[in-house]
Amino acid sequence: MRAHNLALVLHTVANSTDPPSRAAVATATGLTRATVSALVDDLVAGGLLVEVDPPPRTGAGRPAVGLTLTSAGPAGLGLEINVDYLAACVVDLTGAVRHRHVERADQRPADPAQALAALGRLAATARHAAEADGLIVAGAALAVPGLVAGGVVRVAPNLGWQDVDAVAALRAVPELAGLPITVDNEANLAALGELRVTGGPPPTGTAAPTAQAIAAAAPGVTAPAGAAPDPAAAAAGDLPIPGHPWDRRSFLYISGEIGIGAGLVIDGELYRGVRGWSGEIGHVTVYPDGRPCRCGARGCLEQYAGQEALARDEQLAAAALGIALSAVVNLLDVPVIVLGGAYAPIFGSLRDGIEAELRRRVLTAGLAPVTLRPAALGPDAAMRGAADTIIRAVREDPAAWLRRLS
Amino acid sequence: MRAHNLALVLHTVANSTDPPSRAAVATATGLTRATVSALVDDLVAGGLLVEVDPPPRTGAGRPAVGLTLTSAGPAGLGLEINVDYLAACVVDLTGAVRHRHVERADQRPADPAQALAALGRLAATARHAAEADGLIVAGAALAVPGLVAGGVVRVAPNLGWQDVDAVAALRAVPELAGLPITVDNEANLAALGELRVTGGPPPTGTAAPTAQAIAAAAPGVTAPAGAAPDPAAAAAGDLPIPGHPWDRRSFLYISGEIGIGAGLVIDGELYRGVRGWSGEIGHVTVYPDGRPCRCGARGCLEQYAGQEALARDEQLAAAALGIALSAVVNLLDVPVIVLGGAYAPIFGSLRDGIEAELRRRVLTAGLAPVTLRPAALGPDAAMRGAADTIIRAVREDPAAWLRRLS
Query: For residue B274, which residues of chain A lie inside 8 Å, CB to CB?
Result: 246, 250, 266-267, 332-335
A274 touches chain B (CB under 8 A): yes
Q: Tell which B residues from 143 to 162 touch A, by Cβ distance under 8 Å.
A: 147, 154-155, 157
Cα gap A300→A282, rounded to integer Å: 6
Q: Does the beta-carbon distance from A147 to B246 stay under 8 Å?
A: no
Q: Domains of chain A: which residue ranges?
A: 2-69, 74-189+383-405, 201-221+229-378
Alpha-carbon dihedral A294, A296, A302, A307, rounded to 10 degrees: 10
A353 touches chain B (CB under 8 A): no
Give pLDDT tens digits for A3-13.
999 999 999 99
B114 touches chain A (CB under 8 A): no
CATH of domain B74-189+383-405: 3.30.420.40
Query: For residue B273, which residues of chain A lie inside 8 Å, CB to CB?
Result: 332-334
Our CA angle for B194, B197, B202, nearest 5°, is 95
Regions of chain A with pLDDT less than 50: 203-243
Query: For residue B316, which residues of chain A lie inside 8 Å, CB to CB?
Result: none
Find, in chain A, the residue whose alpha carbon is nearest to that of B163. A367
CB B373 within 8 A of CB B199: no
Whether B205 has a pLDDT exceeding 60, the answer reads: no
Cα gap A135→A133, rounded to integer Å: 6
CB B64 within 8 A of CB B106: no
- Per CATH, the architecture of A201-221+229-378 is what? 2-Layer Sandwich (3.30)
User: What residues pair up with B255 in beta bridges, in sequence order?
Assistant: B261, B340
Alpha carbon of B347: minimum distance to chain A alpha carbons (Å): 22
For chain B, percent of residues with pLDDT exceeding 90: 70
Instruction: Report the residue from B274, B296, B300 with minimal CB separation from A333.
Output: B274
Q: Around A311, how many Cα atoms within 13 Å sit in the side-chain half-sphere?
A: 4
pLDDT at A57: 63
User: Is B202-378 the same fold as B74-189+383-405?
Assistant: yes
Query: For residue A270, which residues of chain B lie inside 8 Å, CB to CB?
Result: none
Q: Does the beta-carbon distance from A363 to B281 stay under 8 Å?
A: no
Q: Tell which B residues from 243 to 272 touch A, by Cβ distance under 8 Å.
A: 246, 250, 262, 264, 266-267, 271-272
Cα gap B143→B165, rounded to integer Å: 13
Instruction: Report the residue from A275, A327, A360 with minimal CB separation from B368.
Output: A275
Whether B40 has a pLDDT exceeding 50, the answer reads: yes
CB within 8 Å of A17: residues ≥ 6 apart? none
pLDDT at A361: 97
Segment B350-356 long-range contacts (CB within 8 Å, at least 24 positions apart)? B350/B314, B350/B317, B350/B318, B350/B321, B351/B318, B352/B318, B353/B314, B353/B315, B353/B317, B353/B318, B353/B319, B353/B321, B353/B322, B354/B318, B354/B321, B354/B322, B354/B325, B355/B322, B356/B319, B356/B322
B22-29 and B33-45 helices, crossing angle to 10°: 120
Which DSSP category does A295 fall into?
T
pLDDT at A58: 62
Q: Does the beta-carbon distance from B284 to A331 stay under 8 Å?
A: yes
Q: Does the beta-carbon distance from B367 to A327 stay under 8 Å?
A: no
Whether B241 has a pLDDT exceeding 50, the answer reads: no
Q: Concatenated DSSP letters for B146-162?
A: SEEETTEEEEETTTTEE
Is 1.10.10.10 the CATH classification of the domain at A2-69? yes
Instruction: Report the residue from A154, A250, A284 with minimal CB separation from B331.
Output: A284
Query: For residue A264, which residues of chain B lie inside 8 Å, CB to CB?
Result: 331-332
pLDDT at B274: 87
Which DSSP category does B282 fall into?
G
State phi, psi for A381 to the nearest 5 degrees.
Answer: -55, -40
What is the arithmetic mean of pLDDT over B90-108? 93
B117 touches chain A (CB under 8 A): no
Q: Does the beta-carbon distance from B331 to A327 stay under 8 Å?
A: yes
Whether B240 has a pLDDT exceeding 60, the answer reads: no
Is 3.30.420.40 the CATH classification of the domain at B202-378? yes
Q: Does the beta-carbon distance from A283 to B361 stay under 8 Å?
A: yes
Query: For residue A162, which residues of chain B lie inside 8 Å, CB to CB?
Result: none
CB within 8 Å of B42: residues ≥ 6 apart? B6, B402
Q: Does the beta-carbon distance from B281 to A330 stay under 8 Å?
A: yes
Using pLDDT thresholds of 50, 70 and 90, give the confidence band for residue B59. Answer: low
Cα gap B273→B250, rounded to integer Å: 16
Instruction: Report the residue from A154, A275, A335 with minimal CB separation from B275.
Output: A335
Our CA angle for B295, B298, B301, nearest 5°, is 80
For chain B, percent of residues with pLDDT exceeding 70: 86
Instruction: Report the residue from A157, A279, A287 with minimal CB separation from B288.
Output: A287
B371 touches chain A (CB under 8 A): no
Identify the residue with better confidence: B51 or A366.
Answer: B51
Q: Tell which A residues from 161 to 220 touch B, by Cβ distance under 8 Å.
A: none
Whether B25 has a pLDDT exceeding 90, the answer reads: yes
Alpha carbon of B9: minimum distance to chain A alpha carbons (Å): 32
Q: Does the beta-carbon distance from A280 to B334 stay under 8 Å?
A: no
Instruction: Report the residue from A274, A280, A283 with minimal CB separation from B335.
Output: A274
B296 touches chain A (CB under 8 A): yes
Alpha carbon of A123: minimum distance to chain B alpha carbons (Å): 30
Alpha carbon of B326: minimum distance to chain A alpha carbons (Å): 7
What is the arithmetic mean of pLDDT over B5-19? 93
Cα gap A192→B309, rounded to integer Å: 42
End-to-end CA separation in angstroms for chain A: 19
What is the arithmetic mean of pLDDT over B134-163? 92
Of the candidates A49, A50, A6, which has an alpha carbon nearest to the alpha carbon of residue A31? Answer: A6
CB within 8 Å of A240: residues ≥ 6 apart? A208, A210, A211
pLDDT at B58: 63
A306 touches chain B (CB under 8 A): no
Structure ipTM: 0.82
CB-based burial label for B308 (10 Å; 0-12, 13-18, 19+): exposed
**Preferred mutation among A147, A255, A284 to probe B, highest tally of B CBs within 10 A:** A284
pLDDT at B213: 34
Give pLDDT tens digits for B345-384.
999 999 999 999 999 999 989 888 899 999 998 888 999 9
Q: Does the beta-carbon distance from B334 to A157 stay under 8 Å?
A: no
Find, in chain A, the residue whose alpha carbon is nearest to that of B281. A331
If residue A336 lies in a helix (H) or strand (E), which one and from where to where? strand A336-341
Q: Does the beta-carbon distance from B280 to A331 stay under 8 Å?
A: yes
Q: Tell which A residues from 308 to 327 touch B, by Cβ distance under 8 Å.
A: 323-324, 326-327
Q: Which of helix, strand or coil describes residue A343?
A: coil
CB A338 within 8 A of CB A381: no
Instruction: Report the residue from B275, B360, B363 with minimal CB separation from A333.
Output: B275
Q: Concatenated DSSP letters for B230-275?
A: -HHHHHHHHSBPPSSHHHHH-EEEEEESSSEEEEEEETTEEE--SS
Alpha carbon of A104: minimum distance to chain B alpha carbons (Å): 27
Query: For residue B285, which residues of chain A lie inside 8 Å, CB to CB?
Result: 286, 323, 326-327, 361
Give pLDDT tens digits for A188-211.
999 999 998 887 655 443 333 333
CB B110 within 8 A of CB B67: no
Q: Does the beta-carbon distance from B278 to A154 stay under 8 Å?
A: no
CB within 8 Å of A59: residues ≥ 6 apart? none
Segment B392-398 long-range contacts (CB within 8 Å, at least 24 positions apart)? B392/B196, B393/B138, B393/B139, B394/B48, B394/B74, B394/B76, B394/B93, B394/B138, B395/B7, B395/B10, B395/B11, B395/B14, B395/B93, B396/B7, B397/B3, B397/B7, B398/B3, B398/B6, B398/B7, B398/B10, B398/B43, B398/B46, B398/B48
